[in-house]
Structure 1
Amino acid sequence: MLGATLSVGALAAGNALAVGAAADIGQPAPSFTGKAADGSTVSLDSLRGKTVVLEWTNHDCPFVKKHYGAENMQKVQKEAAAKDIVWLQVISSGPGKQGHVDGPTAIKLNEQRGATVANTLLDVDGKIGKAYGAQTTPHMYIIDPQGTLVYKGGIDSIPSARADDIPQAVNYVREALQAMDSGKPVPNATTRAYGCTVHYAS
């Protein structure tokens, strides 16, 4: 987890599909400052110069369980960490809603799953999620070192909760990061996110 001294923030009726509308590709990513699971304050502005991945998550969502249970999410996280990419989870579930957890629980969940994330943002009031138009868990966003949003959408190309679909799917996040690493445009900058509806407080 990033240290406190670093200022960096029921299943949705079947298979929820959405395209985020609030944050635009090729435009500055919405700025945010939020509380993190480890007690630190996370701000996007302080991360200028680094690639940042935002992962909306809900540990009780079957689609999230698919990608963590098969260690698909963790593999991409580790690949990103090896390139000094800042990977932030965001939990926008409101109090009393599915997926809502406190900081220690979020940290424990990641330890149990072997997740490699810089930190987890506790977006209790949903301000960060709504600024980005996050609608599902998982919902993925990538911000380049200049602070520009270069990817938003799904983790991969097959919208199912079945782990056996993962090997056949195109992992859009890995594809985008590899393109950026090669100095090429992201080939699929906007894709459909799928999963459970984000359970905002209101």
Structure 2
Amino acid sequence: MSLRPLLVLPLLLLACNKETPSPAPEAKAPDAKTPTAAASDKPAAAAEIGKPAPDFTLTDDEGKSHHLADYRGKTVVLEWFNAGCPFVKASHTKGSLKGLSKRAAEKGVVWLAINSSAPGKQGHGAESVAEGRKAFGFENPVLVDASGKVGKMYGATNTPHMYVIDAQGTLVYRGAIDNSPDGEGESPKDGKLVNHVEEALDDLAAGKPVRTPETKAYGCGVKYGS
């Protein structure tokens, strides 16, 4: 392995931690215009491999509502997204996420990015999302989870953090996009690049069990508010 990935990783991690300073908290009534997960009287179920994926309703950055249950019958990919995260940038411009959502959509897969960055944090806001869309050529919906409710329900810890849900609504994969933690696909473990999400989608399309249901995610930490 060359020294380049070893030097790049610390720089990426430093860039991940750059955030817009948050204003002092104020006591405010909830803003009805702020997109959040659907309210429920019952505690939200946690995401578990082999179990039904927790349902949610979120509004995307263009104002359209998305209810996970409405996509039953189709394979769904959830991608935790932060346009300011250098690992997300690397994955979408050089690494394993480059063009993957488009290729998946051409095969009938629903791809939903979820932005759980809180106000004042890196990646929050329509402007950041728009800049990311343009830079990455990203055409899929980016759902707004500013409260972090859905991200915490799924146990999302990193950007990117990937989840695959089969046509029956069962969570069949969660973890890293691939086995190259530089985000660029240039330092794969064991010397061979493995795109875990593409592999899971191929297994589902072939009617086979997902060969690797879970891996450890890498990247920037999700910028939750608390």
The two structures share one fold, judged by TM-score above 0.5: yes
Aligned equivalents of 1:179, 1:153: Cα separation in 2: 16
Q: State the distance in 1 between where 2:130 and 2:73 align.
A: 26
Q: Distance in 2 between matches of 1:188 and 1:58?
A: 25
Q: 1:11 aligns with which of 16, 19, 28?
A: 16
The alignment status of 1:106 with 2:125, answered yes or no, reads: no
Which residue of structure 2 lines up, in the alignment, with residue 123 of structure 1?
145
More strand by share: 1
CA 1:81 to 1:65, structure 2 compared with 1: closer, same or farther past 3 Å? same
Q: How many residues align?
A: 183
Instruction: In structure 1, give the amino acid aligned to 2:104.
Output: A
Alignment of 1:102-181 (within 5 A): 102=126, 105-117=128-140, 119-165=141-187, 168-181=192-205
Give the conservation status (yes or no) of the 8 Å contact 1:81–1:116.
Answer: no
Q: More relative contact order in 1 or in 2 (CA 8 Å, sep 6+)? A: 1
Partner-residue secondary structure (3-state), 1:53: strand
* Percentage of pairs with the same residue: 48
Contact in 1 for aligned 2:180/2:193 (Cα 8 Å): yes
User: Matches of 1:187 and 1:12 in 2, distance apart?
Assistant: 34
Q: What is the alpha-carbon root mean square deviation over aligned residues?
A: 1.9
Change (3 A) 1:158 1:72: closer
User: What are the ranges of 5 or more consecutive residues in structure 2 without an aligned counterpart?
Assistant: 1-14, 19-45
Specify the structure having the higher radius of gyration (Cα): 2
TM-score (norm 1): 0.84
Structure 1 gaps of 5+ residues are 1-9, 14-21
| Helix, strand or coil at the partner of 1:63 | helix
Cα deviation for residue 37 of structure 1 reads: 1.0
Residue 92 of structure 1 and its aligned partner are, at CA, apart by: 0.2
After TM superposition, the score normalised by the length of structure 2 is: 0.75
